[in-house]
Structure formats: C-alpha cells, structure tokens
Structure 1
Amino acid sequence: MKSLVKTLALFAACSLQAAPLIQNKYMKIERAGEKLVLSSLVDAQQMTAQLDLPGFIQSSKIAECSDQLWGKGKQLMIKHGDSTTTLTLYDGNPFAHLETRVSNHGEEMLNLKKLIIAKMDFDFDVKESQLNTLGTGGLRTASSPKGSYAYSVLADPESRNGVICSWLTQLRGVGLMLPTFKEGKHQLETQLDFGLMRVQPDQTRETDILLIGFFDDARLGLEQYADDIAKVYDINLPPKPNVYCTWYHRKQTGSGASTESMIAGNAVFAQKYLKPFGLDVLQIDDNWQAPENNPGKQNKGPIKTFISTTKHFPSGMAKTADAIEKEGFVPGIWFMPFAGDLNNPTFDPAIFAIDKATGGPFEDNRWSGTTIDASSPLGEAFLRKRFKRIYDWGYRYIKVDGLHIGSPSHNLYVNRSYDGKVFGNAEIHDKSMTFVEAYRKGLDIMREEFPDTTILGCAATQNMVSFAPVFGLVDAMRVGPDNGGASKGDWKQTIAGADYAGNLWFLNNRVWYNDPDPIYVRKSNPLHKARWMASWVAVSGALNTTSVQYSLLSPERFDIIKRTLPAHNLDVRPIDILENSKPQIWKVENDRMVVIALFNWEEEKETAINYPLERMGLDPNKGYEAFDFWANRYLGTVKGKLNTTLKGAHCQVLALRKTKDHPQLLSTSRHITQGLIDVVSEEWNPRKKELRGTSNVVANDPYELRIVCPDGFQAMELKTSDKTAILSAVEQADELARATLTPSITGSINWILKFQ
C-alpha cells in the first residue's frame, strides 16, 4: 500500500518541462482547447477519446515522473475549476492514469457527495451501430447502455478493438460509469460517490485513480485491468478453497446451518470420499446463532448478535470447528460482520452510524440491519471483540454477508447496474473520512482480527459498494444472487451464477475468486442441468461450492461432484463475451492441451454453434483431435471451424490436441477438464514406441486414459509405477485407445502405454 500512496501522490517526483504533448508506445495525450484528446497508437483501428473536465482549464503543464510501482512516465497536469487533474502515461503500461485532487479555496467547508471526474466522447473507425458496451450489468449495444460500477468497455465485437475506462482504486469513493447515447454518439461520464467527503478551507484532498486504455482485444484489456488492480493493492490470494456449505439443503437438515451431529457425519463421509479429490472447507451458514437479550422484536433478516448458539449446536461453535478440523477440513462459518440490531440491547446505540433523517441509528429496513460504524472508537472496539470471538472458536474460512452495511447503505438486491443509488442519508463518527474510507477501515479491522483466514464476501449484488471498494480486502466474492432454485431445476437460477461470474471472469484468480453459488447435483435437478452447472464451474475455475448431505446422493450424482474437484487456477477466457450477452464458448488451456466448453443458455431451444478456430485463438491451418467428456466419445479431427448443435439446457466439454503423427493422450476421466489438471507430463518415445506420462490420481477411482492413435499404431499394454493398481485390458476402436488403471494410492503415478 506504500506504493499505492506514492501513486496517488504523483506531484512530488516531477520536474517541469514545456512540451505540448505526452505519449508512450500505447497512446498520446494532447490538449485541444478545453478538451483533452487521447489517441490510440496500438496496431488497431483508429480510436480516440475526448475528455471534458469540469470547469474551465486554467493551465496545463508537462512533467516527467518516476513511480516505484509503475516505473518512469510523463504527466500532463491540468488545473481546472477548483481541481487539479493529472494524466500520467507510464512507459510500460497501456493505461492512462487519471487522478483528480479537489481544493477548497473558500472560507467554508466544502461538502461533496459526488464528484464528476470527466465526460468522454469516443471515435472509432466503425459505425456506432456496430459497437457494444460491457459493464457490470452485462453486454449491451452502444445505443442502449446501462450504468456500471468500476469499469465500462466500448468495443467492436468483430475486431474486438476497444477502449476501457475503469477505476484502478476505490479508496475514497465508489467509482461509477454513466454511459449515454445522444445524437448518434456513445458518451461516458465518470463519477465518484463518496457518501460524503468534507474538504476544509485551504485543504486539498486526493480522490481515486481512473484508467483509460485502448486495446486490440478488449478482453485482454480487462485482464490487464485486473492485473493492475492486483498490483496496486498488492493482492496475494490464498489457495483456492473447495467448499461445502450448509445453506441450500435446509430441508434435509432442518436448519440453514445444519446441525452439530449432521455436520460431523458429513465431515466423516466427505473425508473418506471427497477430501482426496480436493474438498477442503466445510462452512456453516446462517441459523447457527441464537438471539441475545431477546427484546421480543428484531429487525428484518437474520439474528445479528453472533454470540450464543441455537439448539442445533448444543456444544457450541468451537466444538463443531474442532470436529471439522479433526477430519482434515478447514472450519468455515457465516456471519454478518458489520450488522447490528437497533432493537437489541446487546448493541450500544453509540456504535451505530446516524440516520440524518431521523437522528437515530442508520438501518436498512429490508434485511441487512443497522450499520456498525468502524470510524467510531466504540464501533471499532465492538467489531474487534466480535471478530476475535469467532476467530478464537477456530474458524479459518469466513463467509461475511450483508457486507455493504459496513457503509451506511441500503440493500438493493439484486443490484448489478448503477441506477443512481449507493449510499443512504447518513452520518459517520469520523467526519474527516468518506463513507468508503470508513468502510475499508472496518474491512482492515476484520483482516487484522482474522489472520491466516480466507474471507468470502457476500454479496456484491446486495449493493455494489461491496464490489470494487472491497478489492484487496477479501479473497473471494459472491458476485451473483442466491441460486437455491437450481436445486429443483429452475433454469433462471441454474444459469445465474455463470451469468454474473462469467461477466467478471477477468477478476477471477487475479483480484479474488468469483463465487457463483453452489452447483446442485441432487435428483431434483435434471441430469443435463446438473452437468451444465458442474461443467461451467469446472471449466471457468470459479469457486467450487456444493450444498448437500453427501451420503444421500446416488453414485451417479455423487460422481459429478468428484469430476469438478478441485477448482483449477488457470487463466480462462469467454471467447464471445463481446458478441453474446451470455458467452457460449469458454476456453482454458495449458502448454499441453486445450479445453473448449460450449453452453446453450436457452432452456428449451437448440443452439447451433459455428465458430472459426482462429477466433478461439487456435491455429486455423492445423487439425485438432477432439473428445467429448459427457458423451464419452472421440469426435475425430476438427479443422477450420467448430460446428455443433446443443439441445436446450445442454453443454459440451471438448478436449483438443493438435493432430500429430504419433499417439498422444487426448482425454482422461479424472476431471471435467480431461487431463488439464491431473496430467503432470507426457512424452512419446519413438524408438520404443511408448507413450509415457505422470498423472495425479485418487485411490480406488478408476482412471481412464483416452489416447488418439494415428493409422499404423496399435495400443498393446499398460504399465504403472503403482504396483498394486488394477489394470484393465487395453481396448482400441479405430483411432481411439482406452486403458484404465484403478490406483491404490492418492498422489502421483507414472504410466507407460506400449504400442506396435
């Protein structure tokens, strides 16, 4: 964070010059009267952005600068109105960094709820009617945009050329994007919503950093944006958890938190049958907590005291944490970190933020409770005591719900696009802090009191103040709405997690882990829909969560869970995110193979996919051998285009390998990604006619190798370093050979397949 402060304080390292323009290899910036013109220098169609800053421009200066985080660069400093805006181009970064400082030259306090940073017009070489815009609300045409949080993309879906405007930091305000379409032009206004920022007379206050960048491929630009977020906040994510959650099988357990005995039983079962595959967290959800000092009345939503337990946990929460840990799992628990209840005497009213309309505590009347004000010493002390209590019980994975109430804000669920609402009409204790600064202070306190703990935020869609303003302070985020209806096959809820998390693919594994909510494999969810959910999570690398009493599942349904574990950490990309509001084609690869996953988002209608391999980033002049995971079928050689038709609510997961003149491993049965995460190495020995490999396997789980064999090769015999493994006879039909080994150990084994 020291380097972040240096980034915000850019004037100190500058030596003034008198050049009229600044540029790097990516763009140039010049002043044109009252506007600033940013022009792309990348090898793409011509793109420009014209910036209009509030107030008249009084002066402009050029400076060279050096930043510890971003390196050397040049700045254009503009004084306008009561503000100074600095645009910086760093030598090695494709984004222009724009930061505004606000000065108060008057004699009275300046109170700012919102601040317009810049208004922009854009010029492309193509017609506006050909452009699309992408933001937190999803993909829209340029002529029908929606307000967005944190970022906004304007792109040509055909060429993928685009301009990205995004908030690098949100330390002081919520970064807003307000696109409009007027007189045939797409325009964008960027704002910061502080809740309230006070600027004292003769004081200058920093705001946040806005990025503007031009890209040949806007998808890569968003991934660069996420990398830069991780850099500025110094994000180092913990290992990705693979989670069981109690919430979505309440009817099986009688409580959203399950029960002490049922959790212990699930832990024993999962230790034997799922832990070897990668399950590592067992998380208790809402309903574990009992009311304290019950006043006979409580605010809406959950009980918010989080001290004692209900009858379902007679031995207390520490006992259950011990039982979970005993089976080798990380104990996890749900609670609402910043929520109180103004009706309950457990809470001293002095810890709450104030509702300016009533003079009483600020409360969300929908669900989230009363805001515990982290800027108050009393509020901070209460939070530290709450957090320490739960930490001392032994929980090292926490799901923190109602996160937005840490700032005085209302629950807007389901909130995705910006429509004018963020904060409530409130006042916090420390008048020198913005609502976001106080909010992040509360999150910092939580981080301090939960060392070595993975934190899952929940949920961005309640109010998007719990989206970008929490970057760097949570490890994962529920980015979509609850999807419990998917357990019964409700299609809208089946695809909801993939829709919301898919739109934010670029944040996953970089800024945090996207949580789309659980996958459901129980019988009440039709098999093809269960496979759809499982495939999307397995391929996308999103947080993998299940919510069921595992022993109640049939072997076929239980096996689906095994094939999704663990979640991988590879970079994934939605190929057609700039073309389709719900991308049908997803790609993940390593240096050995490619996996292409195809999804039909329509419940009843067929979807035909006819897509060039070149647009998938594959060689259009090469052939690719293909294997369909769910059909368990070799599809032959694909070249030029991928053509397929998917039934309603169906998907297809294809393993692809470039065609070669010798046998190669095309697919395995271990995971839906078919060798992407389990195959460590593979080598063909032409002299011995042997295909050798190393794989990570699970004891007693049959592991099938699917080998594509060119003409003239016949698979003969399988050998393995696991001397007690059960080996099947090798079978070959035409170009595909199959060989199965059932290992006696969990871990890495070597195998050899001989040919003649």
Structure 2
Amino acid sequence: MAMSICVGLHGVLVLHLALAALQWPYPIPCRIQDGNNPDLFIMTLGQVQTGLAQGTFYPSEDKVILNDGQVIEHYYRDRLGIRFYQPIDKRRFPLPPSGWCTWYYYYSRITAEEVKRNARWIAENLKDYGARIVQIDDGWQVPPRDWTDFNKERFPQGIAEVAQYIRSLGLIPGIWLAPHGQSNETFVMANKEVFLLRPDGTTASQTWEGRFLVDPTTSEAHAYLRGLFERLCQFGFDYFKIDGQPIVVNEYRTKTQFMKGPSGPGEELYRKTITTIRQAIGPDRYLLGCWGIPLEGIGLMDGSRTGGDIVLGWGGFKVALRAIMEYSYLHNVVWYCDPDVMVLRSPLTLEQARVWATVQGLTGQALMASDRLMDLGPERVELMRRVYPAVDIRPLDLFPNNREKRIWDLKVSHLGRKYDVVGLFNFDQSRSEQILLRWADLGLPSDVPIHVFDFWNAEYLGAWEAGIAVDVAPTSCRVLTLLVPDGKVQLISTSRHITQGWVDLKRIDYNDTTSTFTGTSSLIKGDPYQLRFVLPRGRNMAVRSVTAAGLPTRWENHQGWAAVVITSDKTADIDWKVEFMPSELYHYPPEAPSGLNVRPVGLDGVEVSWSEQYWLNAGYRVYLDDKPLVYAPRASLTIGQLDPNTTYNLSVETVSEDGSASGQRTRTTFRIASMISSRIRLSQLEGQRTGRPTRRVRTDMPLTIGQEVYTDALVIAPGSAMTYRLKGLFDRFVAKVAVAQGQDELATVQFRLLGDGRQIWQSEPIGPKDGIRQVEVGIKGIDQLTLEVAGSSGAGRAGRVTAAWLDAELLR
C-alpha cells in the first residue's frame, strides 16, 4: 500500500523520493530559536544548506550540535518535552497523506452515495495531481459510538462495498473511529471484561469517546481492539483515523481503580492499546491520531492531528494556523503533522482560500480537503491542484512558535537548482500590510540582484539588490520565488505545484554555447504546463523555438523573462527543449524622485513617502545610511526594527527594469524618539502574545463593561500575556482593568504588570461584579512591558471570563 500511495502519484520521480527516504534518519540543519527576524518561519525541501542554520540535528541520537560546538543531548525528549521521541519511520510512507475527508461538509450525515460522488470527482479531477485518500469520517457507524455494525440507513450496502468502490477508482479508502469508546450497552454487558465498569456494572468512564471505555489491562480488551481493526482491514480500509486520543490517555491516568488487571502509568497503558491496533492493521496501513495532540502515540502512529477542529470561515483557518505554528517542529521528524483539513469554499473569499492552500503547500503537512468537491468553482479547484500532493518538506525551525509569523521561507534544493519559495501573509482581517523582505534575513546575498517571481499571479517582478517591499491585502498572501543570478538564462518557476519544480521536473540541462535548455517534466492531462525563465539583468533574450515530443506549445517573450507553455492530452513524462536568442532591451531613463516625508510607526518604525513619478519607472531603491535597504514598487515604504534613539540618513532613487538608477537621490534624516508623541495608546503598538489568543477591541467591535462602552481595549485570556517593547521611552503606564459581566459571575482573575520580567504591579482578585479599577504605574527605563492576566484561587472558572485592559496609554 505504501507504494500505491507514493509511486502511483508521479511515477519515477516519487519512486526516487521513496528510495531516498529509506536513508532517513540522517542529520539535518536546524534552528533552535528565532534569529534576527522573529517574523521568519523556515522549512527545507531537499538537501538544503543555509547560513541561517544554527546547528545540525542528529535524529537517531536526538542530539543537536550547534555551530559553536555546543552539544544538546536528548533535544526532543528533554528540551522539547517529547517523552517518547523516536524518528519517524519513512520506509513505508515516505510522504505525508494527500486526499479528502467527509467530516467538514457532511459531518455525521454522510451517505454512501455522497462518498462515491466525491470519490469519482477525485478520480477524474484530482487523482493525477496526487490526491489518493478518500476518508469516511463520523457517521458510518451505528450512532453514536457502536463499531459493531454500520449505519444501514446511510450505508445500506455496508461500508465494505464503499471501500471496494473507492479502490476500484485507484484510490485508497480511509475510515474514522474512536475505537476506545463504545455506546452499545448490550454488547458491553455481554463483554464486561473488555470495558471499564464500576462494581455495580455501570460505566466507569463516560466521555466524548463513548459511554463506555476499553479497559487497557485485560487480554479480552486487546482481543476486541484487534478484532475490530482486523475486520475493517478485511473490508478494504488502508487508512485509519482514531479520534479522541487525549481523552483516552487522561481516563487511563485517572481511572486505574476500575481496571481489572495490573495497571500502571496511564500513558503506558494507552501505548499498549495503540500497539495492539498497530499490530492489527500491520505496518503497511496508515495510522493517524486525532483530537488535540496525542504525543503519547509517537513512535506508533504514522501521523497525528496537532490541534482542535477547524470551523468554516477565517476563524477556522486560524485554528489550523496555530497548530502549524506551535507543532511544526514535530513534522517529518517524529511523524507527519496534520493541522486538520483544508477548506476552500465560501464564505472564505478566494484570497482567504488561497492563504489556506498556501500554508498547506509550503509546510508539506498532511493535505486533506473537506469540501463537497464537485461544487467548487474552477478558481478554487485550481488552488487545490497547485498544492497537491503534500511533499517531503521538513522544518528548519525545530522549536514551537507562539506567534503568527508572516514570512514563510521554503528553501529548495533540486536537480542542482537552489531557490526559495517565500510566502508572505497578512492574517489581519481589517488592514493591509507592507512586508519588507530582506535578502540578508533569508540568508541570501544582499549585494546581487535576486530574481523575484510571483507564483500565484504568474508574473516576474524583476531582479533587485537588498530586498523587496511587498504589499499584502487583509487575509491574503503572496508567494514569491527567489533565485540568485548566475549571469545566464535560468529556470525560476514551473506552474505545476507551489514548490515549482520538485513535483514535476525530473531532468534539466543548459547548454551555454547554444543558449538551450533541455529537460523532462511530468505533465498532467489537459493542464497547461508553464516553464518560466528569467534573463540576466541588463541583457534581454527571447525564446527562439520550443519542441516537446510533438505536443502543442506556445511561448511569451517579456522584458527580462519568458514563459513556455506545453499542453499534453495525457498524463505522462515529456521531454522538452527551449532555445533562446539575443533580443533588444528597451530602456527608459529614470528621473529622480522628490518630496521625501517621514512619520513614526510604533516605537521602532517609520513610514516613508515621496512624490509619485510621472515618468516611466520600475520603482524605487531605498537606502538607509547610504546602504541599499530594499526595492519599493510604489512611492511609500514602512521600515521597522529601528533604534528610536539613533539618527538615520534616508535616501531614495528611481530605478528602471534593467537596474539602472536615476543617479540623484532625494534625502532626509530622522530620529524616531524625537517624533513620538508624549502620550500614545498601547493599541498603536504590536505586542508578542504568550499563551492563549488575545483580542483587540476596536470601534467596529466594542466591549461593554457595566454601562460603559469601550472601543479601545485588550482582552487577555487568564494564564496569558502580551509583551511590548518600549525601548525605555516612557515614564508612566495608565489604564483601567475590569472583567465583563455575563459569564461565570463567581470567577476572579488578577491583572499584573511586569517590567523587564519583574512584577511591578498586581491587582487584587477582580470578578465581573467588582467594576472598573484604575491603574497608574511608573515604567521609567523599562524596555519590555508585559500585561498579564492570571486566574485566582477564588470560586468559579477563571478561564470563562473576559478580562480586559481598557484605554491603556503610555506617557512620557
């Protein structure tokens, strides 16, 4: 079955990847903490070497050796708390699963006919792109948790018949269950040795998992689990998603008094049940843990969900995003992470759907769609096709992330091509962002013109030194491919997959004497395949001819780049040849800009603007202290991470597509500290969250406390905090604190202020009935100010309250 998942997807290329995976575990480059840019999240694909690596991780030994020689033994087990650490076994599953799940459209109302409809659609529209698994979720069994039979109303011919139908399409049947639970009381009473029961015969464990829970200490229970999974294997299922696992672990920790056999630590008892399941399904069927993150299954499960259930809409995407950020360090190291499904349908806008597809494509985590696929419009289907299948991506960042990072850098090494696929994200729903992408932050040379290609928009953005400023609309993303120039024509991108060559490109050669590329690519039936070439800056060339095994071809020559399109009437490997010839380069001399203005943004940034040019230009090159900072496509730029007490020299020149500049620059100097107001609202600053998500209250989403309505507040969950960098610029902090009414009236919390890690103020316990309290605290010289909310020892559940800092201000 492992070969049917992998080799069948892309033929020889994936077979090569599967064979390469047999060599795992091997040392990999790593970071164990953020570098200079805390907004950066890094992954690798292929044998990547980068100067951003802080050391090397040796998975067989669970050891990190840092660049300075420091050795960290048992890195995952002790530093990251992964008690059962062992490297993922990639011999049978060299790639994460890619497919479709029924749950997030049909929920428990799935039917056999709807499964078949979606399976047929996948076979006709997505199978050649790498989607293979069709997983039936909750709803097939006798409700709610009876695994002894199937739901005859929804699956009148049984689930085995559906599994065989899926297999007949060349797809892989998968099934969901919560195997430790059971709701059939008649069955339980006839098999009392299998389940946890009280002395009077009633259940000892009634949870979401089921009304009854398997007793992990009896041979009868293990025989029951073995028989259940062997039967499902006989029905034809090769992919198993087992749900509610953290519940099971917790119950086994706390219900030992009801166990019939010798007990022990709950996690060890749990692992024995998973071992039984693993033995029943064998090594060639995929086992996925589910719900939360059952770390106790590491070494036994092939993959695991790493977060809660998503919901339809942007909030659901954020659930998946948090799972990716927090647990990416586990992916393709101990198992394949599953951040839950990818949903692309309305009410998500097309741009929001693109964000969801992009985070899946750039991380390589388990890729399962969950829409009614035949209802998706062509633009959303196109998004799916550009990210299927999940590929062999591994994090460089082997540590958890608590922030929503905006710059995701996938470093790729393939067939001698070394390039970066960079996702730039704006997760905010209300405001646009301008992101400064600096080559040095990515470990790329700053003094050469890096080629930039926009993948989703299929356009070349030029070649620029130092970096590029990129505008990103609310809840949207950009995907840029970056390629270091070699002075020749270069292939920068292909259209098949977001990784731009890894999935489709099998061979590529370039003859510099004849300016000719030859290669072999995997083409998909009816899918126009593009090869995008970039030209040396300052020289223009054009495609002279294209051949591709007699297939229809066309090409487009642009200034600085060219695109070749090949269309095949069947899914096959195609040899192609592209020949270039010299061409004229058009040049328009740029004029110098004028009208330079600077205003502060936060405490460490400025927004710079200048007059827009009337005459033709390709944008602007911005200098800080006479060093190239970034290329800006438009006449404004936001610069962050500056020292507010330093005086900077800023200058701007106009540039053309060939890299030539206006020569003259417009100039100014600035010092942020001298521009900052003596009184600013804390909501104007960006903070760093610790713990659970926070919520900003704005004019369009006010918060009512008593009779007062507040449009400027920060809601922090108990046990969480927000930290702000003040750079020692302020003398006093003033605010109000309160707990909103309407929730747990008995719960209380304490509000705390920390300055540079030291507590400088704390409230008494405050509850919903205690009204609003004033806060005024001296903060002179403090760099990091932390606003914290802690649950108190009072009655009630502090986690169910809305604790808010109101009208918080900083005074100089």
Q: Normalised by the size of structure 1, how large is the TM-score? A: 0.63
The 8 Å contact of residues 333 and 398 in structure 1, kept in 2 or not, is answered as: yes
Query: Offset at 1:215?
Result: 4.3
The aligned residue for residue 119 of structure 2 is: 267
The aligned residue for residue 365 of structure 2 is: 542
Q: Judging changes above 3 Å, is the alpha-carbon distance between structure 1 residues 320 and 440 closer, same or farther for their aligned structure 2 residues?
A: same
**2:99 is the counterpart of 1:243:** yes
Q: Judging changes above 3 Å, is the alpha-carbon distance between structure 1 residues 573 and 257 closer, same or farther for their aligned structure 2 residues?
A: farther
Amino acid at match of 1:433: G
Cα distance between partner residues in 1 of 2:489 and 2:72? 38
Q: Judging changes above 3 Å, is the alpha-carbon distance between structure 1 residues 661 and 215 closer, same or farther for their aligned structure 2 residues?
A: closer
Cα distance between partner residues in 2 of 1:282 and 1:560? 19
Cα distance between partner residues in 2 of 1:257 and 1:329? 22
Amino acid at match of 2:489: P
The 8 Å contact of residues 240 and 513 in structure 1, kept in 2 or not, is answered as: yes
Cα distance between partner residues in 1 of 2:491 and 2:267? 52
The 8 Å contact of residues 325 and 404 in structure 2, kept in 1 or not, is answered as: no
CA RMSD, 1 decimal: 4.0
Q: Judging changes above 3 Å, is the alpha-carbon distance between structure 1 residues 222 and 735 closer, same or farther for their aligned structure 2 residues?
A: farther
Query: Offset at 1:343?
Result: 4.1
Query: Offset at 1:341?
Result: 3.0
The aligned residue for residue 435 of structure 1 is: 266
The 8 Å contact of residues 256 and 285 in structure 1, kept in 2 or not, is answered as: yes
The aligned residue for residue 436 of structure 2 is: 610
- 1:534-683 matched pairs, under 5 angstroms: 534-573=357-396, 580-582=403-405, 584-591=407-414, 592=417, 593-683=419-509
Match of 2:561 among 706, 715, 736: 736
Cα distance between partner residues in 2 of 1:131 and 1:569? 25
Cα distance between partner residues in 2 of 1:566 and 1:481? 23
Cα distance between partner residues in 1 of 2:96 and 2:264? 34
Query: Offset at 1:583?
Result: 5.2
**2:305 is the counterpart of 1:474:** no
Match of 2:343 among 512, 520, 536: 520
Aligned residues: 532
Cα distance between partner residues in 2 of 1:335 and 1:578? 31
- What residue ranges of structure 2 are gaps of 5+ in the alignment? 1-26, 42-51, 582-812
The aligned residue for residue 313 of structure 1 is: 155
The aligned residue for residue 231 of structure 2 is: 389
Q: Judging changes above 3 Å, is the alpha-carbon distance between structure 1 residues 353 and 551 closer, same or farther for their aligned structure 2 residues?
A: same
The aligned residue for residue 457 of structure 1 is: 288
Cα distance between partner residues in 2 of 1:597 and 1:221? 31
- 1:280-359 matched pairs, under 5 angstroms: 280-291=132-143, 302-341=144-183, 343-346=185-188, 348-353=191-196
Query: Offset at 1:456?
Result: 4.2
Give the number of the structure whose alpha-carbon radius of gyration is greater: 2
Cα distance between partner residues in 2 of 1:264 and 1:578? 40
Q: Judging changes above 3 Å, is the alpha-carbon distance between structure 1 residues 382 and 670 closer, same or farther for their aligned structure 2 residues?
A: same
> What's the CA shift string for 1:13-44, capped at 9, x where partnerless?
xxxxxxxxxxxxxxxxxxxxxxxxxxxxxxxx
Secondary structure in 2 matching 1:399: strand
Q: Judging changes above 3 Å, is the alpha-carbon distance between structure 1 residues 526 and 131 closer, same or farther for their aligned structure 2 residues?
A: closer
The 8 Å contact of residues 355 and 363 in structure 1, kept in 2 or not, is answered as: no
Amino acid at match of 1:267: A
The 8 Å contact of residues 305 and 346 in structure 1, kept in 2 or not, is answered as: no
Amino acid at match of 2:270: Y
Q: Which moved more, 1:259-268 or 1:311-320?
A: 259-268
Query: Offset at 1:162?
Result: 11
Query: Offset at 1:577?
Result: 7.0
> What's the CA shift string for 1:356-405, capped at 9, x where partnerless?
9x985431434554320232112112112211111111100111112234
Secondary structure in 2 matching 1:350: helix
The aligned residue for residue 596 of structure 2 is: none
- What residue ranges of structure 1 are gaps of 5+ in the alignment? 1-91, 96-123, 133-137, 139-158, 170-208, 292-301, 411-421
The 8 Å contact of residues 597 and 654 in structure 1, kept in 2 or not, is answered as: yes
Secondary structure in 2 matching 1:389: helix
Q: Judging changes above 3 Å, is the alpha-carbon distance between structure 1 residues 386 and 355 closer, same or farther for their aligned structure 2 residues?
A: same
Cα distance between partner residues in 2 of 1:406 and 1:644? 47
Q: Judging changes above 3 Å, is the alpha-carbon distance between structure 1 residues 303 and 740 closer, same or farther for their aligned structure 2 residues?
A: same
Q: Judging changes above 3 Å, is the alpha-carbon distance between structure 1 residues 473 and 572 closer, same or farther for their aligned structure 2 residues?
A: same
Q: Normalised by the size of structure 2, how large is the TM-score? A: 0.59
Q: Percent identity?
A: 26
> What's the CA shift string for 1:709-750, capped at 9, x where partnerless?
224442234434432x2212x211210111111112323222
Q: Judging changes above 3 Å, is the alpha-carbon distance between structure 1 residues 679 and 131 closer, same or farther for their aligned structure 2 residues?
A: closer
Secondary structure in 1 matching 2:278: helix
Match of 1:684 among 506, 510, 522: 510
Cα distance between partner residues in 2 of 1:212 and 1:445? 30
Q: Judging changes above 3 Å, is the alpha-carbon distance between structure 1 residues 610 and 747 closer, same or farther for their aligned structure 2 residues?
A: same
Query: Offset at 1:471?
Result: 0.5
Amino acid at match of 2:438: P
The 8 Å contact of residues 665 and 706 in structure 1, kept in 2 or not, is answered as: yes
Amino acid at match of 2:492: L
> What's the CA shift string for 1:487-512, capped at 9, x where partnerless?
xx3x2211221221232222212211
Cα distance between partner residues in 1 of 2:481 and 2:54? 29
The aligned residue for residue 715 of structure 1 is: 542
Match of 2:553 among 702, 707, 727: 727
Q: Which moved more, 1:321-330 or 1:225-234?
A: 225-234
Secondary structure in 1 matching 2:149: coil
The 8 Å contact of residues 364 and 390 in structure 2, kept in 1 or not, is answered as: yes
Cα distance between partner residues in 2 of 1:666 and 1:510? 29
Query: Offset at 1:523?
Result: 3.5
Query: Offset at 1:686?
Result: 1.2
Cα distance between partner residues in 1 of 2:350 and 2:74? 34
The 8 Å contact of residues 195 and 221 in structure 2, kept in 1 or not, is answered as: yes
Match of 1:752 among 573, 577, 582: 577
Amino acid at match of 2:288: G
Q: Judging changes above 3 Å, is the alpha-carbon distance between structure 1 residues 456 and 447 closer, same or farther for their aligned structure 2 residues?
A: closer
Q: Judging changes above 3 Å, is the alpha-carbon distance between structure 1 residues 225 and 316 closer, same or farther for their aligned structure 2 residues?
A: same
Secondary structure in 2 matching 1:542: coil
Cα distance between partner residues in 2 of 1:586 and 1:739? 26
The aligned residue for residue 221 of structure 2 is: 379
Query: Offset at 1:561?
Result: 0.9
Cα distance between partner residues in 2 of 1:366 and 1:624? 54
> What's the CA shift string for 1:109-154, capped at 9, x where partnerless?
xxxxxxxxxxxxxxx9x9xxx999xxxxx9xxxxxxxxxxxxxxxx
Cα distance between partner residues in 2 of 1:528 and 1:624? 27
Cα distance between partner residues in 1 of 2:448 and 2:146? 60
Amino acid at match of 2:123: Q
Query: Offset at 1:470?
Result: 0.6
Cα distance between partner residues in 1 of 2:401 and 2:111? 45
Cα distance between partner residues in 1 of 2:54 and 2:531? 41
The 8 Å contact of residues 573 and 586 in structure 1, kept in 2 or not, is answered as: no
Cα distance between partner residues in 1 of 2:399 and 2:240? 34
Secondary structure in 2 matching 1:636: strand
The 8 Å contact of residues 243 and 290 in structure 2, kept in 1 or not, is answered as: yes
Q: Judging changes above 3 Å, is the alpha-carbon distance between structure 1 residues 753 and 426 closer, same or farther for their aligned structure 2 residues?
A: farther
- 1:175-214 matched pairs, under 5 angstroms: none
